[in-house]
Structure 1
Amino acid sequence: MVEVLHRIETPASADEVQALIAAAGAAGRTLEVVGAGTKRAVQPVRADALLSLARMDRVVDYAPEELVLTVEPGARLADLEALVAAEGQMLPFEPPHLTTLLGTAGQPTVGGAVAANLSGPRRIRAGAARDHVLGFAGVTGRSEVFKAGGKVVKNVTGYDLSKLMAGSWGTLAVMTEITLKVLPAGRTEATLLVFGLDERRAGELMTVAMGTSAEVSGAAHLPAFAAGRPPLAAEMPVTALRLEGFPASVQARAESLMAELRRFGRIEALDAGHSRGFWAQVREVEAFAADPRPLWRVSVPPAAGWRVGDARLGDPLYDWAGGLVWLLSEQPAERVRDAARALGGHAALWRGEGPAFEPLSGALAALSARVKAAFDPLGVLNPGRIA
């Protein structure tokens, strides 16, 4: 349960953010940093005040011809998606919103998506959120203002702090401005569906598909439980492959891929409209939204993804060609984490009782502590969000 805080700070500028962090550090107080707060429950924070970036929601600069977008962290994802779509462009990492899955209200922000390094199905082709952050400005837990990267696709060499911030969940610094690389959106898309495969066979199919020249931009497998849940409500397991681009290219690649995968069984194609709807369901994990069981986000090497289901831990849904497994499980946390670790990955509890992130150990823990000490030695920002 998320703690209700009586003190809420809503800065409207980087200067105000700096002043609030400086005052908190001087007084020995802590701050919970949020955008819209839609993912606060993933790992609740106990802090003295809430620092909301919701008022810092401006589009600072958008240069479609340069494929560059600069925004403040409170800018809403839905607004940015509409903005770039009007120019025939997209946010390449296809950030999920996950409000239905997590049962939260509000409009997710770009700052939250980058801080959590959230990426949708297109990650397997376009890369993660961190790969599209060209630069940012921020304020450390020491109340020091700094900038990293820049506003051009080709940037200078040096420490890649953008990748450090992405996935730090606001524990190192508060980003006050973010510059993203955008890309042209595909003119159309199509999805190939293969029905009735078990998880091992589906994993093999996705591996084969990713190894072709078809440029697959989405690969997911919904076993019987996930496929049978609304809104898809299919009668058997479904394995899906998405292709995006110019119409003639999509058609040619689809025909080639269908010929390559014919040995796996019957293949059907979804047109562009139905394809978009299907992948929105996968991205938002809608099949698991109404299920009360604890929900895990398991990251493993794609070729090993099917083994998560083989371990019989619960009910899985596979994205990223098997590299991302959403898992409904009532098994003890240690068993889920051990299974993920045995496959070369890790597991985070996104919905349920207990710590979301597994505590680090050994050299990794020591390195993390040094980074934290460099940015936020007093532990002002989001204390306890990442162990």
Structure 2
Amino acid sequence: MTPATEAELAQAVADAAGPLRIRGGGTRAIGQAGPGAVLSVAELRGIELYEPGALTLVARAGTPLAEIEAVLAAEGQRLPFEPMDHRALLGTEGAPTIGGVVASNASGPRRIQAGACRDSLIGVRFVDGSGAVIRNGGRVMKNVTGYDLVKLMAGSWGTLGVLSEVSFKLLPAPEAAACVLIEGLSDARAVAALSAALGSPFEVSGAAHVPVGLDGAPVTMIRIEGFADAVAYRAGRLQALLARFGDSVVETDPERVAAGWSWIRDVEGFAGLSGDVWRVSVKPSDGPAAVTAVAPERAIYDWGGGLIWMLVPEGRDIRPALAGIGGHATLIRASEATRRDIPSFHPEAAPVAALSAKLRAEFDPRGILNPGLMG
């Protein structure tokens, strides 16, 4: 089923006799795909409203992300949260859609400064499990009606409703960017350096560490963005601040800076390598301990050490090794057999699980929207 309008989408859900598998661009094949007919929103596409002066955009859920980013770039603007592209990591094809970005709350390295996708989302329209159309939030930043429900839809993976339209607040694109690079740090020293940078007044917009970089050596990366003169000044001050951790260099070539952070954002270092990929979220100070506990084949730290991508042998559940370390672990890439045996999404504590079940029962009383995907 590929409805072309919101009314057709609502009718398709209302008429469904069994489970539905919700699909946007088909690029984020995460979790165990349960039984059901595929309901695609790929034809619900197009930018409904774009007001550069008001820094707001409204688009239909099936609109390709690349189309939106191109329109924003032409006006010197961007989505604040730097959404991840999963295609290289997962080996998928197709075009990521803005609805898929919201459904997965896809957020990149800039989250430490600008927040996640849900923090830029100001309005949604969606069809619930009964086929009713629900609008929440608004099309302008001053409208905060239904704020909680707007945030609830981000990261719900289509289990509460099928998105038909999303609204965002935007930010101007920076004039320049630079990346301070330090080589050779241990994981613990790198996280300490990242914490020092993030605690500084120099407006860091990216803080990552790669224990095995492209040349095989550890590299710690700290990004700053803004007006060219301010970026040059802040980069120099940041180098001085971090001198106790070792010598550093500053990369200012815009293409190299962009490529390096795309590599971090999309976990390109794991693309093509065999093994399962886990996404682990912990306190930044617990990052090195989490890596030591799991002992993955490869690891990449983002968000100052609070987000760790781990590559491990196929079929291994890393959650027992992380017992005692607060946070959660999501299985992002694995075989179908492994996804049947190991829940992709972190098991919820009993009170949270009860609340999740109540929400799903409220918005999807028939239990037909991506059943079983999130547990």
Do the two structures share a fold, i.e. TM-score over 0.5?
A: yes
Question: What's the offset of the Cα at 1:333?
Answer: 4.6
What does residue 223 of structure 2 align with? 242
Q: What SS class does the counterpart of residue 305 from structure 1 fall into? A: helix
Q: 2:14 aligns with which of 15, 22, 47?
A: 22
Q: What SS class does the counterpart of residue 300 from structure 2 fall into? A: strand
Q: Larger deviation: 47-56 or 171-180?
A: 47-56
Residues 354-386 of structure 1, C-alpha deviations (whole Å, 9 max, x = no match): 221133241111111100100001111111111
Q: 1:273 aligns with which of 239, 248, 255?
A: 255
Residues 174-208 of structure 1, C-alpha deviations (whole Å, 9 max, x = no match): 11110011100100100000000010000100011
What does residue 80 of structure 1 align with? 68
What does residue 105 of structure 1 align with? 93
Distance 1:92 1:135 in 2: 16
The amino acid of 1:11's aligned partner reads P
What does residue 6 of structure 1 align with? none
Question: What's the offset of the Cα at 1:312?
Answer: 4.2
- Equivalent residues in 2 for 1:141-290 (5 A)? 141-158=129-146, 160-224=148-212, 227=213, 233-271=214-252, 272-290=254-272
Distance 2:346 2:180 in 1: 36
Q: What SS class does the counterpart of residue 152 from structure 1 fall into? A: coil
What does residue 103 of structure 2 align with? 115
What does residue 364 of structure 1 align with? 352
Distance 1:238 1:273 in 2: 18
Residues 290-315 of structure 1, C-alpha deviations (whole Å, 9 max, x = no match): 11111001111122212222224302
Count of residue pairs brought into register by the alignment: 367
The amino acid of 2:225's aligned partner reads E
Whether the aligned pair in 1 keeps the contact of 2:160 and 2:364 (CA below 8 Å) is yes
What does residue 2 of structure 2 align with? 10
Q: 1:301 aligns with which of 261, 283, 291?
A: 283
CA separation of 1:63 and 1:340: change in aligned 2, threshold 3 A:
farther
CA separation of 1:16 and 1:23: change in aligned 2, threshold 3 A:
same
CA separation of 1:312 and 1:340: change in aligned 2, threshold 3 A:
closer
Distance 1:192 1:235 in 2: 18
Question: Structure 1: which 4+ aligned runs deviate by more than 4 Å?
Answer: 331-334
Q: 1:377 aligns with which of 353, 365, 368?
A: 365
- Equivalent residues in 2 for 1:48-59 (5 A)? 48-59=36-47
Q: What's the C-alpha RMSD, in Å, of the aligned pairs?
A: 1.3
Distance 2:9 2:172 in 1: 34
- TM-score normalised by the chain length of structure 2: 0.95
Question: What's the offset of the Cα at 1:56?
Answer: 0.8
Question: What's the offset of the Cα at 1:331?
Answer: 7.8
Q: What SS class does the counterpart of residue 217 from structure 1 fall into? A: strand
Q: What SS class does the counterpart of residue 176 from structure 1 fall into? A: strand
Distance 2:59 2:147 in 1: 22
What does residue 316 of structure 1 align with? 299
Q: What residue ranges of structure 1 are gaps of 5+ in the alignment?
A: 1-8, 228-232
What does residue 4 of structure 1 align with? none
- TM-score normalised by the chain length of structure 1: 0.92
Distance 2:249 2:104 in 1: 35
What does residue 331 of structure 2 align with? 349
Question: What's the offset of the Cα at 1:338?
Answer: 3.3
Whether the aligned pair in 1 keeps the contact of 2:294 and 2:321 (CA below 8 Å) is no
Q: What SS class does the counterpart of residue 162 from structure 2 fall into? A: strand
Is 1:34 equivalent to 2:15 in the alignment? no
CA separation of 1:235 and 1:44: change in aligned 2, threshold 3 A:
closer
Whether the aligned pair in 2 keeps the contact of 1:59 and 1:71 (CA below 8 Å) is yes
Residues 236-280 of structure 1, C-alpha deviations (whole Å, 9 max, x = no match): 100000000000110111111110000111101111221111101
Residues 99-122 of structure 1, C-alpha deviations (whole Å, 9 max, x = no match): 011000111111111100010100
Whether the aligned pair in 2 keeps the contact of 1:313 and 1:331 (CA below 8 Å) is no
Q: Larger deviation: 234-243 or 312-321?
A: 312-321
